[in-house]
């Protein structure tokens, strides 16, 4: 079973930039893993920000972007806002029946 790893926690200053990453125990993350990024605020359902590496939904704030960086998937938040304080999860899809979430990154805006 593949293991997907994320930073447990990150802190960013208001207006600052932070990059979250998502790695795979099987090797480099590629576009073939179709990385997906979700945001979950306390007590709320998840909300998808990025799918298929770089694609945004209509509700995704422009300050969020997805990419591949050094063999990992990455979510960059540029110009952090207080409302961006949340848990962020990545999902990697290895096959149709093997889709694995990372353990989540808790982002604090402070």
Partner 1 sequence: QVQLVESGGGVVQPGGSLRLSCAASGFAFSSSNMHWVRQAPDKGLEWVTIIGSDGNAQFYADSVKGQFTVSRDNSKNTLYLQMNSLRPEDTAVYYCAKDVDWGFDYWGRGTLVTVSS
Give contact residues for partner 1 (rule: CB under 8 A): 1, 34, 36, 38, 40, 45-48, 50-52, 55, 57, 89, 91, 93, 96-104
- Strand locations in the chain (E): 4-6, 9-12, 17-24, 36-40, 47-51, 55-56, 64-69, 72-78, 86-95, 98-101, 105-109
Choose between 76 and 106: whose C-beta lies nearer to partner 1. Answer: 106
Task: Compute the residue count for the chain.
Answer: 110
Closest approach of Cβ 13 to partner 1, in Å? 26
Closest approach of Cβ 73 to partner 1, in Å? 12
């Amino acid at each position: 079973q593949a293991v997907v790893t994320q930073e447990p926690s990150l802190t960013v200053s208001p207006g600052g930039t932070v990059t979250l990453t998502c790695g795979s125990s099987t090797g480099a993350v590629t576009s073939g893993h179709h990385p997906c990024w979700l945001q979950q605020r306390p007590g709320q359902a998840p909300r998808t920000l990025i799918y298929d590496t770089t694609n945004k939904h209509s509700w995704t704030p422009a300050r969020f972007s997805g990419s591949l960086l050094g063999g990992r998937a990455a979510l960059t938040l540029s110009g952090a806002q207080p409302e961006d304080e949340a848990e962020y999860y990545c999902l990697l899809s290895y096959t149709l029946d093997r889709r694995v979430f990372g353990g989540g990154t808790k982002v604090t805006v402070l």
